[in-house]
Amino acid sequence: MIVVESKEKHSQRIANCIAEEIKLRQKFDQHLVLGLATGSTPIPLYNELVRLHTEENLSFRNVYTFNLDEYCGLEDNHPKSYHDFMYFHLFNRIDIPRENIFIPSGQIEPLFERDYCEGYEQTIKDLGGIDIQILGIGRSGHIGFNEPGSSVDSITRKVKLHDITRRDAASDFGGFDNVPTHAITMGMNTILSANRIFFMAFGEAKQEITKRAFCGEITDDVPASHLQRHKKTTICTDFDIT
């Protein structure tokens, strides 16, 4: 499904959908598993979820979250870590139990990386899989940090970041050379196994790559293009790609 409207409208619509699902599960004493993204794109969505919590009493006590990725080499409390981002924009402002929050660690020793990543996958599976996944897209065509060349079968793992991705993050880190070179990311398979996906892309800079992803060939060169085969993805943009 493709919807074109403002990012605020999209954020409200997605937040309402998440809220309805949380409340439905609460009725049956069940939990909801959310896959979450970082970057500027989902910020209005997180603001809206916080508003639903503070103004409309939406509780997140039955919610588990799994973040897509984290930069390697950054401590959790580094100001540019995705841990810091998530606690600042969402987790510190809602009532989710801390033990329900999962974000890949950027601090795993190389020797233990594989076991750690397999453990991340297993925890998602043990909770029944991701019910709703939030996604943005990078100008390289990545989802999570699945850069061009990522296989559709890939699972959570350590990856090398594309130069476009590092260039786009350069201002955050005070220069290209300061941007971490590697990250831990959920895999393509992990993401595509989600029951429902909300894909968001806003602004002119994302128009061309979004069009390639959804109107072009399905190819590992544009990892987001594999979303064309996902059974329940809503494409939320503020530009037309048709």
Q: How far is the CB of 95 from ligand PGA (least distance, A)?
A: 26
User: In whole angstroms, how far apart are CA 136 and each of 145, 197, 199, 224, 239?
Assistant: 10, 10, 6, 9, 14
Q: Which is nearer to ligand PGA, 41 or 65 (CB)?
A: 41
Closest approach, Cβ 171 to ligand PGA, in A, equals 11
Provide the token pair at 149: 């060349």
How far is it, in rounded angstroms, from Cα 208 to Cα 225? 13
- Residue 33's DSSP bridge partners are 64
Q: Which is nearer to ligand PGA, 106 or 138 (CB)?
A: 138
Nearer of residues 30 and 178 to ligand PGA, judged by Cβ: 178
Total residues contacting ligand PGA (rule CB under 6 A)? 6
The verdict on 184 binding ligand PGA (CB under 6 A) reads no
User: SS3 for 79?
Assistant: coil
Is there binding between residue 136 and ligand PGA (CB under 6 A)?
yes
Q: Which is nearer to ligand PGA, 136 or 187 (CB)?
A: 136
User: Edge-to-edge strand order for the sheet containing 157-160?
Assistant: 69-71, 182-185, 157-160
The residue number with the shortest CB distance to ligand PGA is 39
Give residues 197-226 in contact with ligand PGA (rule: CB under 6 A). Answer: none
> Which DSSP category does 110 fall into?
G
Residue 41 contacts residue 134 (beta carbons within 8 Å) = no
Nearer to ligand PGA, 59 or 84 (CB): 84
- Least distance between ligand PGA and beta carbon 46 (Å): 12
Which range in 109-117, 131-139, 176-184, 217-225 contacts ligand PGA by CB under 6 A?
131-139
Q: Does 171 bind ligand PGA (CB under 6 A)?
A: no
> Contact between 106 and ligand PGA (CB under 6 A)?
no
Rounded to 5 degrees, what are φ and ψ at 134?
A: -95, 135
Binding status of residue 40 toward ligand PGA by CB under 6 A: yes
HEC string for 146-196? ECCCCCCCCCCEEEECCHHHHHHHHHHHCCHHHCCCEEEECCHHHHHCCCE
On the 0-12 / 13-18 / 19+ scale of CB atoms within 10 A, 111 is: exposed
Q: Does 137 bind ligand PGA (CB under 6 A)?
A: yes
Positions touching ligand PGA (CB under 6 A) are 39-41, 136-138
